[in-house]
Amino acid sequence: MRHKLAPSKGSGFSQILVPTDFSLEAKQAADYAASLADTFDSEVILYHVYQFLQSGTSVMINIDDLILETAQKGIKTELQRIKKNHPRIRIRGIYEEGFLPDGIKKTIQDENVDLLVMGTKGAQGFTRKFLGSNTSHILSQISIPLLVVPKNCTPELPKNIVLATDLLHSSKRSTYEPLRVFSDRSNTHLNIIHIIENEAPLNEQKSLPLLPELENLISHNKTNITQVRSNNIEEGIFDYLASHPVDLLTVVRREMGVLQRLLHKSISAAIVKNASTPVLVLCK
C-alpha cells in the first residue's frame, strides 16, 4: 500500500523527487533539493521504500509492523527537519513496500516528477547503489534529468555550470531545458567543454559548429566554449574540473558506459579534489 503525507501545488522544476533511506547521504540530497525548491517554488517529494520479511508467523508479522512504523517515523522526522530549515517550501512524503527501481519509475509517472535527486557517498558508491546490476536500467527508462549529489556538496544554486559534450550528437531541444531553468533564476555562467580525444582525426579536432539546440541555450547565458584535448573523455573532464571552478557538471545520457566510467573513477586525484561537485545527467 502506498502512503502519502500532506499533498500539495508552482515554474522551473515543479516536482522534485528525492529517494531516501534516511542516511546522511540521502539527507544531503534532500537538503540540496530543498534549496532548489526555495528558488524554483518547487514541491519536494521524499520517497522511501521498504520490504517486509517473507514469512507468515506471528513473530514476522510483528516485525513487519515495526518495519512499517520505522518507515512512517523516518519520513515524518525527515519532513520536519527539512521544513524547519526551509519553512517556505512545499514538501510531502511517500513511503511504501516495494523495490526502489520500480517505485522510482512509478512515482515519476504518478506524480509528474521532472527532476530526480539522489545522494551518494562518492562516485563508487553511486556506481554500486544506482548503476549496479539491480538498478542500472532506471537510467534508460526514466525520461527526466537525474541530479547526483555527493556527500560533501554545498546545497546552493550553482553559479558555474559545465556542460561536457562532443558537439557531434544532436539532442532534443528539451534536453537542455534544465540548464535554461538554472540560468533564468540566477547569474549562471555556462562553460561548454568539447572533449577531443588525442587520437581523433584532424578533421574532428577543428572547431565544430554549435548544435542548433545549444544555440538557444547560449542566448540565455554567459557562455564560454572550450576545446579540451585528452586521452579519453573521462580524463578530459577530470582535468578541466581540477583547474576550473565548477558548481555543477552536466552530461547528456547517451552512453551508459562513459557515464559509468566517469562516475567510477573516485580514486582519481581530480575526482577527490572535486568530490563536492554534483552531476546533472540530462536525457538524450
pLDDT at 9: 44
Cα–Cα distances in angstroms (integers) from residue 171 to residues 19, 68, 132, 248, in the given order:
28, 43, 26, 20
284 domain residue, yes or no: no
Q: Over the stretch 197-248, which tens digit does the pLDDT of each residue have?
A: 776 654 444 445 555 566 666 655 577 778 888 777 777 877 888 888 888 8
Read off φ and ψ for residue 127, nearest 5 degrees: -60, -45
pLDDT at 205: 46
CA distance 203 to 216: 26
Quick check: 216 and 241 in contact, CB under 8 A? no
Mutual angle of helices 58-85 and 24-40, in 10-degree steps:
40
Handedness of CA 54, 56, 58, 59 (dihedral sign): negative
pLDDT beyond 70 at 170: no
Domain count across the chain: 2
Which is higher by pLDDT, 94 or 185? 94
Residues 20 and 142 in one domain: yes
pLDDT at 92: 97
pLDDT at 121: 63
Closest CA to 220 of 172, 187, 171: 187
Residues 11 and 146 in one domain: yes
pLDDT beyond 90 at 278: no
Single out the residue in 120, 150, 180 at which a domain terminates.
150
Residues in CB range of 102: below 8 A, 6 or more apart: none
Residues 123 and 239 in one domain: no
Residues 185 and 71 in one domain: no
Read off φ and ψ for residue 62, nearest 5 degrees: -65, -40
pLDDT at 182: 79
243 domain residue, yes or no: yes
Which is higher by pLDDT, 262 or 160? 160
Residues 13 and 128 in one domain: yes
Name the pTM for this structure. Answer: 0.81
283 domain residue, yes or no: no
pLDDT beyond 60 at 111: yes
C-alpha cell at 131: 548503476
Q: Over the stretch 45-92, which tens digit does the pLDDT of each residue have?
A: 999 998 877 665 555 557 888 888 999 999 999 999 999 999 999 999
- What is the span of the domain harbouring residue 267? 160-278
Residues 146 and 184 in one domain: no
Residues 118 and 166 in one domain: no
Which is higher by pLDDT, 120 or 171? 120
pLDDT beyond 70 at 34: yes
Cα–Cα distances in angstroms (integers) from residue 131 to residues 84, 123, 180, 263, 284, in the given order:
33, 10, 27, 10, 18
Residues 11 and 91 in one domain: yes
Residues in CB range of 138: below 8 A, 6 or more apart: 101, 104, 105, 130
| Average pLDDT across the chain, whole number | 75
Residues 170 and 235 in one domain: yes
Residues 101 and 178 in one domain: no
Residues 11 and 141 in one domain: yes
pLDDT at 262: 53
Closest CA to 164 of 22, 281, 42, 7: 281
pLDDT at 218: 62
